[in-house]
Amino acid sequence: MKPVQNPSGAPELRFPEGFGWGAATSAYQIEGAANEDGRGPSVWDVFSHRPGRVREGATGDVAADHYHRLTGDLDLMRDLGLRSYRFSIAWPRVLPTGRGTVNAKGLDFYSRLADGLLERGIAPVVTLFHWDTPQALQELGGWENRDCAKWFADYAHTMFTALGDRVPTWLTLNEPKTVVDVGYTAGTHAPGKQDRQLANVVGHHLLLGHGLAVQAFRGTAGKGRIGAALSLSPTYPADDSAAARLQATRADAEENRRWLDPLLLGRYPADWLATQPADAPLRAAIKDGDAAVIGARNDLLGVNYYGTTHVTGTGSRVMLHPTSQATWQEIDPNGLFDLLTRIKRDYGDLPLTITENGMATTNPMQDQDRVTFLRDHLAAAHRAIQAGVRLESYHLWSLMDNFEWAEGYTQRWGIVHVDFATQKRTHKASADWYRTVIARNGV
Ligand code: IFM
């Protein structure tokens, strides 16, 4: 953990021995093979095929064709030196209608993926839900329907039984906040609804699904650990006024505490709940006993960090730091230090993994801006470790260029370039840089 001199003479920040250098992807964003080997449709298949929903009419039908290129992609990960790989399972590939009969070919794909990782010395980190709700369940209301939490836990149980002997780290949900804010409020992600009240019900059912899946996990023989991956953004007042400070506290409740508190403290924050009218559907959705299920012990927390949030005295968001090709990003590496140390201070000494961190850039191959971004964030992570945070691993987003949801293929987040016409993979400057970081165990 001590800074040492590297050959160039610059001080190097060494990470703890065994630090989990990793990269992340998700199923719909890279797999393709949307209609093969018995996979059922998800809400994202339906949404992306609706005219005008995704930039340039793109879909995940082929994406990075990872389903057919599994061995090559596993070798690519090995050549980078990855120690950890976070991927998600497409629920409708395993259960084409979301429940009932298991699709053996779908399960086999993930089994081969887990085996291929282990053979190459890479630890699998599995996310169970990265937004691809089976369409058959959406037709029954999807996450608006309380039963979806149970269907999710049943699917999770299927996966724990199938892969529990090989997977050390499980994540139930990826970024429930994005489903709520973008899928159900802005309506620019699947399933494309614009109803804030309904969105909050969906948020509750997602949390309940998490809790039931954790319960199911405890009942299996799996030897791994389980938690969720939350997108978190430290919030700050944009100026010194009391009004801005108040708005920053409110923004913190909405951005962070409404997810962290139920999961890690077993209750919604009182100030956030107070913003829900007495007749809000959320209030009826919260049943006796839910808090205990949602707040059952987690073994670790996944942190997706993309930047900070600054708010004025009127509650408007302002950008005080540079952005990226993804204009919602406010790039502020210090925010990562603040976030990691805040989690330790307010929620206890939980093991943490950075499950996503990265930026989109228009620089196709010489992505020096991404190298700077990653280096600065790793330096902030290192500082947090020195401050006593139990940060065990880091998964950059993303291993390779992929389908960036409503932005289609127009935003590139990978350290490996994908030519979507030929599916050729080529290291960007950031991939070569990251390989060196991993080899040296430091930046
Ligand atoms: O691509 C997404 C990912 O699916 C979830 N977190 C943010 C990434 C970049 O927008």
Q: Out of 175, 255, 392, 407, pick the active-site residue.
A: 175
356 tagged catalytic: yes
* Crossing angle of helices 196-218 and 258-265, rounded to 10°: 30
Q: Which CATH superfamily is domain 13-440 in?
A: Glycosidases (3.20.20.80)
CB of residue 175 inside a 6 A radius of ligand 1: yes
CB of residue 172 inside a 6 A radius of ligand 1: no
The answer to whether the predicted template modeling score (pTM) of the entire model surpasses 0.95 is: yes
pLDDT above 70 covers what percent of the chain?
98
- pLDDT score of 4 more than 70: no
> If you measure from the C-alpha of residue 178 to the centroid of ligand 1, how many angstroms do you get, rounded to a whole number?
9
pLDDT in tens, 43-57: 999 999 999 999 999
What is the average pLDDT score of the chain? 97
CB of residue 131 inside a 6 A radius of ligand 1: no
- What average pLDDT does range 2-10 have in this prediction? 52
Q: Is 233 exposed, middle or buried (0-12, 13-18, 19+ CB in 10 A)?
A: buried
Q: What residues contact 90, with CB distance under 8 A and at least 6 apart?
A: 27, 28, 31, 39, 42, 106, 132
At 8 the pLDDT is 54
- What average pLDDT does range 157-186 have in this prediction? 98
At 223 the pLDDT is 82
| CA distances in angstroms from 314 to 93, 151, 243, 253, listed in the order given | 46, 41, 7, 16
Closest CA to 125 of 88, 160, 93, 94: 88
Cα(404)–Cα(182) distance, rounded to whole angstroms?
13
Nearest atom of ligand 1 to the alpha carbon of 131: 4
At 6 the pLDDT is 53
Question: 222 pLDDT band (50/70/90 cuts)?
Answer: confident
